[in-house]
């Protein structure tokens, strides 16, 4: 949904911001919310904000969602207080004139405003192992910081979000229904999933067996959901907090592998370009473990290579389901966009499967380095 600069100016006037509205335009490449960069002139100094319309078809309870985000960002601010540059290390929510963290317009849309973190960017495709290291370290540090979040369990903003077997069950229903007559064009992809049904409950089963714990996790650790500092390359701020809720740490690491090791874009059509880059995997494992080794248990560490395979399969299943259901969930810009994304994911699954043993050795090495770092 696109909103004009005039609309946006009116929405921004519901927030108690100092200065004059200058301009607004669409921002970023997220698949879910509508994001705008909004420029203000504050006494001669240009200042920008992020304005977002929360996709309430997907996030059914935006008030609970913002309650989670307030709790998480308040805790981050408390823990980070005193460090240099704290205002660039955690999202800052701007409260509306109503005193609430959201403004609801006459059409029922929910809007929120964040301070724009300047001098930092997110990357859709990572270019260097150093970027991978720093992005993964930032997500590890985020999980570590939230380990002692006060106030009890967070709301589940999307129930069963990383319940891979449920995702497969929904896919099967979509195949059965074939609402858009598209199943024929995705026969190979459907087969691909059915051939892997045996592994989809592996992490959930380990959790049920008490071998891996529930934690506060991000759940959408696509690497464009972390801002890297333009000057230092450091992982500065974890963003896109809508799915921060109870979850398994491994789904977070897995999604870093899905998005950080892919040598091509998520929707690349030339599948010969899609492979998992082992140097990126090593950097992700090192960066993540430099923070997470302090709290992960042995089983979680052991499952790190598998987690990348599983979530890549899961996200591929979700793209495929959305294709069959008529592109009702993810933003798309062409008819086969979701099918293309699914094919990319499945090609990546194959590449990761072929490297699983090698990745296990890399994780052991990375763990060793993290322990040396910790001891020094």
What would the x/- binding string for ligand GN1 be over residues 299 to 318, using CB under 6 A? ----------------x---
Q: Which is nearer to ligand GN1, 31 or 88 (CB)?
A: 31
Residues between 225 and 264 that touch ligand GN1 (CB under 6 A): 225, 240, 242-243
Phi, psi for residue 23 in degrees, rounded to 5: -165, 165
Shortest distance in whole angstroms from residue 157 CB to ligand ADP? 11
- Member of 220, 286, 291, 327 binding ligand GN1 (CB under 6 A): 220
Q: Is 155 in the site for ligand GN1 (CB under 6 A)?
A: no
Q: Are 150 and 75 in contact (CB under 8 A)?
A: yes
CA distance 29 to 335: 18
Question: How is residue 102 annotated by DSSP?
Answer: -
Tokens coding 83: 């460090």
DSSP sequence for 196-243: TGGGTTHHHHHHHTTSS--EEE-S---GGGEEEETTT--EEEE--GGG
Q: Is 154 in the site for ligand GN1 (CB under 6 A)?
A: no
- Among 23-31, 42-50, 83-91, 163-171, the segment contacting Mg ion (CB under 5 A): 23-31
Kindly provide the b/e burial profile for residues 2-38, where b requires at least 16 CB atoms within 10 angstroms of the residue's own CB: ebeeeebeebbebbebeeebeebeebbebbbbbbbeb
Residues between 14 and 53 that touch ligand GN1 (CB under 6 A): 30-32
Residue 266 binds which of ligand GN1, Mg ion, ligand ADP, none (CB < 5-8 A, kind-dependent): ligand GN1
User: Cβ contacts of residue 214 below 8 Å, gap of 6+?
Assistant: 207, 246, 247, 248
Residues between 103 and 142 that touch ligand ADP (CB under 6 A): 114, 116-117, 122
Residues between 263 and 292 that touch ligand GN1 (CB under 6 A): 266
Q: Is 225 in the site for Mg ion (CB under 5 A)?
A: yes
CA distance 221 to 51: 21
Please report, as ranges, the residues that interact with ligand ADP according to CB under 6 A. 27-28, 30-33, 35, 50, 91, 114, 116-117, 122, 224-225, 227, 239-240, 242
Please report, as ranges, the residues that interact with Mg ion according to CB under 5 A. 30, 225, 240
């Amino acid at each position: 949904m696109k909103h004009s600069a005039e609309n946006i100016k009116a929405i921004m006037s519901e927030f108690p911001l100092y200065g004059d509205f200058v301009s607004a335009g669409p921002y970023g490449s997220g698949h879910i919310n509508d994001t705008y960069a909004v420029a203000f002139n504050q006494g001669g100094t240009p200042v920008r904000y992020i304005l977002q319309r929360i996709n309430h078809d997907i996030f059914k309870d935006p008030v609970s969602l913002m309650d989670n985000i307030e709790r998480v960002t308040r805790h981050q601010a408390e823990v980070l207080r005193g460090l240099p540059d704290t205002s660039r290390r955690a999202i800052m929510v701007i409260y509306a004139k109503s005193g609430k963290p959201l403004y609801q317009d006459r059409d029922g849309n929910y809007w929120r405003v964040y301070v724009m973190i300047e001098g930092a960017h997110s990357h859709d495709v990572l270019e260097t192992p150093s970027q991978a290291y720093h992005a993964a370290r930032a997500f590890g540090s985020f999980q570590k910081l939230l380990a002692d979040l006060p106030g009890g369990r967070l709301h589940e903003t999307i129930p069963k979000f990383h319940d891979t077997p449920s995702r497969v069950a929904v896919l099967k229903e979509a195949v059965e229904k074939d609402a858009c007559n598209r199943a024929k064009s995705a026969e190979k992809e459907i087969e691909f999933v059915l051939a892997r049904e045996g592994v989809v409950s592996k992490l959930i089963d380990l959790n049920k067996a008490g071998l891996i714990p529930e934690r506060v996790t991000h759940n959408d650790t696509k690497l464009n959901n972390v801002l890297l500092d333009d000057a230092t390359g450091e992982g500065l701020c974890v963003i896109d907090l809508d799915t921060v809720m109870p979850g398994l740490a491994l789904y977070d690491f897995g999604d870093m592998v899905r998005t950080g090791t892919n040598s091509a874009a998520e929707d690349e059509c030339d599948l010969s370009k899609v492979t998992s880059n082992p140097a990126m995997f090593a950097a992700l494992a090192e960066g993540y473990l430099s923070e997470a080794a302090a709290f992960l248990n042995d089983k979680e560490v052991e499952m790190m290579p598998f987690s990348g395979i599983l979530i890549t399969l899961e996200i591929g299943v979700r793209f495929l389901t959305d294709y069959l259901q008529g592109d009702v969930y993810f933003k798309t810009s062409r008819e086969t966009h979701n099918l293309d994304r699914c094919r990319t994911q499945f090609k990546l699954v194959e590449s990761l499967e072929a490297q699983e043993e090698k990745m296990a050795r890399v994780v052991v090495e990375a763990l060793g380095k993290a322990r040396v770092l910790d001891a020094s």
